[in-house]
Amino acid sequence: MIRLGIVGVNYGRTVQLPAFRADLRCEVVALAGRDAAHTAAIAREAGVLKGYGDWRALVEDPDVQAVAVATLPSLQAHVALRALELGKPVFIEKPMANNLAAAKAMLQRAKQSGLPTMIDFNFTQIATWLRAKAMLDDGAIGKLRHVTVHWHVESRALQLRMRNWKTVGDDGGGVLGNFISHCFHYLEWFCGPIAGMSARIGGVPEDGELETTVAMAMQFKSGALASLSMSCASYFGIGHRLEFFGEEGTLVLHNPGADYMRGFELFYAKRPGPLERTAVIDPIDTQYPDGRIAPVSRLAKLWFDAIEKGGTPTPGFAEGYRVQLQMDAARRSYQQGIWVDFGKEDARGSAR
């Protein structure tokens, strides 16, 4: 039995807790939040033995064998580094840190420890996306020509004009950390390494500090191009749509709804036929009230497998660090008005 502690009582409680509990090898034995009394009450309600008001107490508890982290990007590095120092595997949220230096330190510590790490890039564990990936790998659309991503929603944080890491970009967040980090990871998962990029970042007219919108052009190492348009300030936006155009066909993933995870449909056209829906059913997802739980449970299984049997599960800290490099490159592209050759950036920033 893997005795797990979770740092963070928002996403950590609503998504991570049920996702980890779905695996019979795991027992969640502790939660940590910022307020001891509040966290203790949440722990009692959730049936968790211990509730701490300080993450250090949880990480240093000898009864906790592994640590999951769902906190601000600026805090994740501190928690992860201490847990790895104590010999405890770590599961974190994206983005892995609030700056490149912290992300590099996390990756180096993980490599030195040899412990399994994982980062919650959960889109790639949606059943519909897994089917799409298998089809692309099997050559369903032939050689890839180009990819488009349109992700236009209105986030809760933006509706409420909240000033936190999800809306302000000076602490590892904003639209890059909250949304585009996912895009960088899943685009490379689908299509291979990104070789270069150009980015522009915008906000809302009445409040320049809020970062809500990104327009990007990218090129993959394969030569295929990608265009990305994302905004979390899109009232009645299109939702989340990915289009893969190949020599022999087209594949589309589209979720028009407000639930980020649940609602994707898959469409496929093989030349010269029409674009038709491909049905994908996920029986695990229907068990849960939150569409994020099933994908996270699949990542948790990979992490637990590595804890028990060894190995390097993915996406781990290496993938998280690569995305951190890409976010850094995108921000500099915007600030300097340049195209960034990411192949060269990756070589200079490598933590090998």
Task: Reply yes or no on whether the pLDDT at 352 is more than 60.
Answer: no
Greater confidence, 163 or 1?
1
Each residue's pLDDT tens digit, 137-174: 999 999 999 999 999 999 877 776 766 767 776 767 78
Kindly list the strands in the beta sheet with 225-231, ordered across the sheet, starting from the edge strand earlier in the chain.
276-278, 265-270, 249-255, 239-246, 144-152, 225-231, 213-220, 194-202, 340-341
pLDDT band at 34 (very low <50, low <70, confident <90, very high): very high
C-alpha to C-alpha distance for 278 and 128, rounded to whole angstroms: 9
Q: Return the closest-CA partner of residue 323 out of 184, 170, 216.
A: 184
Give the pLDDT confidence score for residue 163 in this predicted structure.
67
Terminal Cα distance for the chain, rounded: 33
Domains of the chain: 2-115 (3.40.50.720), 124-283+325-336 (3.30.360.10)
318-327: average pLDDT:
96
The partner residues of 211 in beta bridges, in order of sequence, read none
Task: Reply yes or no on whether the pLDDT at 351 is more than 90.
Answer: no
pLDDT band at 258 (very low <50, low <70, confident <90, very high): confident
Each residue's pLDDT tens digit, 70-122: 999 999 999 999 999 999 999 999 999 999 999 999 999 999 999 999 999 99
CB 79 within 8 A of CB 59: yes
Give the pLDDT confidence score for residue 345 in this predicted structure.
52
Each residue's pLDDT tens digit, 168-209: 767 677 899 999 999 999 999 999 999 999 999 998 887 777
Give the pLDDT confidence score for residue 166 in this predicted structure.
74
Q: Which amino acid is at 295?
A: P
